[in-house]
């Protein structure tokens, strides 16, 4: 997948930070996009040490952060209503759908979303 663009869910980034080699290989040489939701989730963990916060900020600085747009907002509403997704999941899925990019996630609930290109990472 050299040179590809991917939207990456928060859970995938957490696995990467835990040293998951499969995730590291998958994301290697990819241009990573994240939703502003992922940025907020990563930076809001209470137990982040100063060093960990620096690592997270450094990682985020290498990503393209996608803020909410009217199109993503509308799609998030529809996905939440149609698939009963949690709001953060709906926003992340809508971001990938809106950008027409694959979403790398370990969230099996997102498999149900039609017309969403998902790279599902099974951690079991």
pLDDT tens per residue across span 96-122: 999 999 999 999 999 999 999 999 998
What is the rounded average pLDDT of the residues 47-54? 92
CATH superfamily of this structure's domain 5-120:
5'-nuclease (3.40.50.1010)
Q: In the predicted model, is pLDDT for residue 2 greater than 50?
A: no
Give me the pLDDT at residue 1, please: 42
User: Per-residue pLDDT tens for 54-88?
Assistant: 999 999 999 999 999 999 999 999 999 999 999 99
Residue 5 pairs with which residues in a beta bridge? 31
Structure tokens at 21: 């080699």
Angle of the 36-43 helix axis to the 50-61 helix axis, nearest 10:
170
Q: How confident is the model at residue 42 (pLDDT cuts 50, 70, 90)?
A: very high
């Amino acid at each position: 997948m050299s040179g590809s663009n991917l939207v990456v869910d928060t859970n995938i980034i957490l696995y990467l930070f835990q040293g998951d080699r499969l995730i590291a290989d998958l994301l290697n040489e990819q241009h990573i996009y994240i939703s502003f939701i992922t940025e907020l989730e990563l930076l809001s963990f209470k137990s982040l040490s100063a060093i960990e916060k620096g690592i997270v900020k450094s990682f985020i600085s290498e990503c393209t952060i996608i803020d909410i747009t009217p199109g993503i907002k509308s799609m998030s509403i529809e996905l939440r209503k149609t698939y009963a997704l949690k709001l953060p999941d709906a926003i992340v899925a809508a971001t990938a759908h809106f950008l027409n990019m694959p979403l790398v996630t370990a969230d099996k609930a997102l498999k149900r979303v039609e017309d969403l290109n998902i790279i599902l990472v099974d951690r079991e």
